[in-house]
């Protein structure tokens, strides 16, 4: 049996993993509305291996950080498989570099409202910040610098961050290292940059 993988935090990446956690198939769809293709591509991948949805070992999603619409899409779609008794697993993109063996680093993305999110770690110790554009350069040092992919930066941050490592590329190259950790971890809740009551409050 296999695992279905979905990342719709930025664009849409969808794939199928073997029992040995090797990629059987992996697709990236850029510039399309993920909601328009996620169902058809997932079913196509499953059908190519002559499986039924209920034959999957599990569905693994990336629960952030990223665009909130994408988070809700992946979570809602993975919930469909619960009706077939398929287990759910998830991870955060900023966990990927550490699981791949980078003992120190900074993972970075835009965070709405003119702010940026940083996840910094040294070994198992980590901290998270929301910063302004003027503070980015204060955090670009000797550590490895990671982003999800080029679409997770805006013009201001692209000028300040040189040659970052893409965690989405690590995921393609090292699936076994990453998913072995994800499968034994607790399910992640959708990641919000701020408390939901603040993030989604309606201004009077």
* pLDDT tens digits, one per residue of 74-104: 999 999 999 999 999 999 999 999 999 999 9
- The arithmetic mean of pLDDT across residues 23-48, rounded, is 89
- 192, pLDDT greater than 80: yes
Task: Flag whether 35 is in a domain.
Answer: yes
Containing structural domain, residue 105 = 95-166
Radius of gyration of the chain (CA): 17
Q: What are phi and psi of 60, to 5 degrees?
A: -115, 125
Same domain, 193 and 102: no
Question: 86-90, 150-154, 159-163, 176-180: which range is least confident on average?
Answer: 159-163
Neighbouring CB atoms inside 10 A of 78's CB total 22
Same domain, 148 and 65: no
Same domain, 100 and 44: no
Q: In terms of Cα–Cα distance, which of 49, 53, 40 is closest to 14? A: 40
The model's confidence at residue 182, banded by pLDDT at 50, 70 and 90, is: very high
Question: 35-49, 72-86, 135-149: which range is least confident on average?
Answer: 135-149
Same domain, 147 and 63: no
Whichever domain contains 61, its CATH number is 3.30.420.40
Task: Flag whether 204 is in a domain.
Answer: no
Task: Flag whether 114 is in a domain.
Answer: yes
- 57, pLDDT greater than 90: yes
Same domain, 15 and 99: no
Same domain, 172 and 142: no
**How many domains is the chain built from?**
2
Task: Flag whether 9 is in a domain.
Answer: yes
Same domain, 140 and 56: no
Same domain, 11 and 61: yes
The model's confidence at residue 23, banded by pLDDT at 50, 70 and 90, is: very high
pLDDT at site 114? 87
- The arithmetic mean of pLDDT across residues 133-158, rounded, is 83
Terminus-to-terminus CA distance in the chain, angstroms?
52
Can you give the length of the chain in residues?
204
Task: Flag whether 203 is in a domain.
Answer: no
What pTM was computed for the model? 0.93
Same domain, 67 and 8: yes
Same domain, 66 and 108: no
Same domain, 87 and 173: yes
The model's confidence at residue 202, banded by pLDDT at 50, 70 and 90, is: low
Cα 128 off chain centre by: 17
pLDDT at site 40? 92
Same domain, 55 and 148: no
- The arithmetic mean of pLDDT across residues 170-192, rounded, is 94
Please report which helix (H) or strand (E) contains residue 155, including its range: helix 155-158
């Amino acid at each position: 049996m296999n695992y279905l993988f979905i990342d719709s935090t930025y664009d849409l990446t969808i794939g199928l993993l073997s029992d040995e956690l090797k990629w059987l198939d992996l697709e990236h769809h850029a510039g399309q509305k993920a909601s328009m293709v996620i169902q058809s591509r997932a079913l196509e991948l499953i059908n190519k291996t002559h499986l039924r949805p209920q034959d999957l070992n599990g569905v693994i999603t990336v629960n952030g950080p990223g665009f909130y619409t994408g988070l809700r899409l992946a979570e809602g779609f993975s919930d469909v498989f619960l009706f077939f008794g398929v287990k759910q697993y998830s991870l955060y993109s900023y966990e990927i570099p550490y699981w791949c063996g980078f003992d120190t680093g900074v993972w970075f993305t835009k965070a709405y409202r003119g702010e940026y999110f940083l996840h910094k770690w040294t070994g198992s110790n980590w901290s998270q910040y929301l910063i302004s554009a003027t503070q980015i350069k204060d955090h670009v040092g000797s550590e490895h610098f990671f982003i999800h992919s080029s679409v997770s930066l805006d013009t201001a941050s692209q000028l300040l961050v040189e040659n970052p490592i893409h965690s989405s590329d690590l995921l393609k190259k090292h699936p076994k290292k990453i998913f072995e950790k994800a499968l034994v971890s607790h399910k992640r809740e959708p990641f919000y940059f701020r408390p939901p009551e603040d993030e989604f409050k309606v201004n009077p």
